[in-house]
Chains A and B, each alone.
Chain A
Amino acid sequence: MPQIFSRKVNSLPTLTLLGTLAGGVFAVLFVWYYFSPKFTDVGYAPQQPVEYSHRLHVGQLGLDCQYCHTNVKNANHSNVPATQTCMNCHSQVRTESLKLLPVRESWATGEPIEWIKVHKLPDYANFSHSVHTNNGVGCESCHGRIDQMEIVAQAQPLSMSWCIDCHRSPEQFLRPNSEITTMGYDYPEDFLTANLARIVSEDIQPPTNCSACHY
């Protein structure tokens, strides 16, 4: 009986096995990285209607976050400032700047500036800013070094496992409430012991059950 396949085909089973293995490993790594919010979401930096620079206002001028985002310690939602807040200074400072034209227009017409939301959570995940900022979670922990951003970009994946990581071991991330808005906070050497003591004394128990966020 003549051979159906040539001798070369003998290597086919080995190659198929190796290919399947390599393909499997590749698929896992590919999905691991490219399907993760670390790839899909981190770095999202939409162009805003006004070229507002956090680097200038926070980094160089030293404005506190709460000067504009006033509700961050009092409400679930951390607000974007009204045009009034801008005009507090800009009715006196750089009143002729072209970059500020949309702000002055908004001020004149009463139409709010349509800022674009950067840090998005799904509708089914409830997040409270006040709970976090009053229990030692710094702005920086989630939003990154805002003081260095010309345009605000998403710094962290905001995925569920990222939330859970902190909820499971808050002592790794907490800081004193007085340092909440500090950018580039330097953790002291004994911060772990301090945090562990604080967690006990203030009874900080970040929930990890489903209905803590999904309700």
Chain B
Amino acid sequence: MDKTLAHLADFHDEAPLVKGNLTFHDITEIVSSHTEKKTPLQWYGAFGLALSGLMLMIVMIAYLFWNGTGVWGLNNPVGWGFAIVNFVFWVGIGHAGTLISAILFLFRQQWRTAINRSAEAMTLFAVVCALVFPGIHVGRVWAAYWMLPIPNQMGMWPQFKSPLLWDVFAVSTYFTVSAAFWYVGLIPDLASLRDRATGLRRKVFGVLAMGWTGANRHWRNYEKAYLLLAALCTPLVLSVHSVVSFDFAVSIVPGWHTTIFPPYFVAGAIFSGFAMVITLMVVARKVYNVENIITIDHLEKMNIVILVTGSMVGFAYITEFFIAWYSGVQYEQYAFTNRMFGPYAWAYWTMMTCNLFFPQFFWIKKLRRSIPFMFAISIFVNVGMWFERFVITVVSLHRDYLPSAWDYYTPTWVDVLTFVGTFGLFFTLFLLFLRFLPMVAASEVKGVLPEADPHFYDHEGDGHGADHTLGVAKSKTAH
């Protein structure tokens, strides 16, 4: 008994996860009020900007459909250009959410509660952006349903031996499970919003909250469902980007045919995902006044993840290079020399600087707790990770075995504007989320407050119950 309490005491000696002495009610207020107050003018401004980006994307896609993929910069050796680069970029970003919610949940990392909701939302929206590209890059869009195993009058099935098909399954499963996970986590908070609302809003949230009353039985079912979904999500975090890497690794193109790809892609995905979370949260916590819930400690922890995964990615870059030399295969060696000193050297060195060099500043505690600095680094990482996919996809393809087939790939304005437009899609969805749904998992944050400890109010009601092992011992003797 004493041992358990002593353990609890240790736990409470950690720095509090929520600052500013917030009560349960304060947290409900802070989180809910943003969805309840009149829409601020700045939101309209931001939303208008995002929406025009989305429109731009739609126009670009319509233009593509009308004219065909000839409007893109693809050429003969480089058959995979921006569409694949952007797809991998967005899927990668979509990894932080599930990692935070599933893996950190299973490892009882309670700091995840502050950021998991918005990170999961970001995941879903990033996967939506990613899913745009496989759909539009097929050329004959009216045949895009051939990607799915649907019985048809052609008696034809997708090629089950192709990693591209595994990709369809991996990404769509990931999206479905992440969406279910996100929604289940939302239910208690939706019920809070429902209880505070009136009129139509009350009805809408009433439907969405699925009759949640906060009963003991509800909580038990909820926790079980959440745990099971977390367990389901955990392998997905690792599998999705592994399968994405198979798109490359299963082929025999020098620079793609690499066994290190799956772990290296997963590390890169988490790296870019956390960078995106930092980019978004640094701004959102300020604008939405949740600085006491998403504290500088949370941001620092995420920066440590960025440092670790960034170093892993950097290590993978160097390993690839070493293996190219060690293998003695001249095509492989040329592929890597060409990356460093070839016509796309600028892309390679951008990638190396952004991904390997800049995150190393996070070794310094002062820098990883500096808001402007981490914001800048997170942008660099996003840029660097986009260039990583560019280097892998385009630079490997543009010079393969036969010099007679070599060419230089330049994206067209349609390529660039479609990519810009996906940010419009992303931010449109994200701003809608911020406006209408609780951006912090209030019920979970309340669970990590010291007051949530069942013994908090024990022992002469000093509000310090289990905090003081001495007090426990004293009351024991008193009995």
Contacts and interface: CB of A to CB of B under 8 A. Distances in A.
A164 interface: yes
Interface stretch (B147-155, B167-175, B298-306, B452-460): B147-155
Interface string B134-173: 0000000000000000011111100000000000000000
A67 interface: no
Interface string B186-230: 000000001100000011001000100000000000000000000
Contacts, number: 29
Contacts of A32: 151
B153 A36 contact: yes
A4 B153 contact: no
Nearest to A210: B156
B203 A164 contact: no
Interface in A151-193: 157, 159-162, 164-165
Nearest to B195: A1
Nearest to A5: B206
A37 interface: yes
A160 B156 contact: yes
Contacts of A162: 153
Interface in A1-38: 1, 4-5, 13, 32, 35-37
Contacts of B153: 35-37, 157, 159-162
B207 to A, nearest CB: 8
B267 to A, nearest CB: 39
B194 A160 contact: no
A3 to B, nearest CB: 9
Given A1-B195, A4-B194, A160 B206 contact: no
A24 to B, nearest CB: 13
A36 B152 CA distance: 8
A104 to B, nearest CB: 43
Contacts of B151: 32
Interface string B229-257: 00000000000000000000000000000
Contact of B154 (A1, A13, A160): A160
Contacts of B206: 4-5
A36 B153 CA distance: 6
Contacts of A164: 154-155
* Number of chain A interface residues as a range: 10 to 19
Contacts of B202: 4
* Number of chain B interface residues as a range: 10 to 19
B77 to A, nearest CB: 23
B195 A165 contact: no
Given A1-B195, A4-B194, A165 B203 contact: no
Contacts of A13: 210
B176 to A, nearest CB: 15
B194 A161 contact: no
B154 A161 contact: yes
A23 B124 CA distance: 26
Contacts of A36: 153
Contacts of B155: 159-161, 164-165
Contacts of A159: 153-155
Contacts of B152: 161
A80 to B, nearest CB: 27
A160 B195 CA distance: 57
A208 to B, nearest CB: 10
Contacts of A161: 152-156
A1 B198 CA distance: 12
A157 B152 CA distance: 13
Interface string A69-84: 0000000000000000
Contacts of B194: 4
Nearest to B205: A4
A161 to B, nearest CB: 3
Nearest to A31: B150
Interface in A77-123: none
A161 B153 CA distance: 6
A168 B154 CA distance: 13
B154 A4 contact: no
Q: Which of B153, B154, B206 has the most CB of A within 10 A?
A: B153
A157 B194 CA distance: 55
Nearest to A167: B155
Given A32-B151, A159-B154, A161-B156, 15 more contacts: A4-B194, A4-B203, A4-B206, A5-B203, A5-B206, A13-B210, A157-B153, A159-B153, A160-B154, A160-B155, A160-B156, A161-B154, A161-B155, A162-B153, A164-B154
The 8 closest A-B pairs by CB, nearest first: A161-B155, A160-B154, A159-B153, A4-B206, A164-B155, A36-B153, A37-B153, A161-B153
Interface of A: 1, 4-5, 13, 32, 35-37, 157, 159-162, 164-165
20 contacts: A1-B195, A4-B202, A4-B206, A13-B210, A32-B151, A36-B153, A37-B153, A159-B153, A159-B154, A160-B154, A160-B155, A160-B156, A161-B152, A161-B153, A161-B154, A161-B155, A161-B156, A162-B153, A164-B155, A165-B155
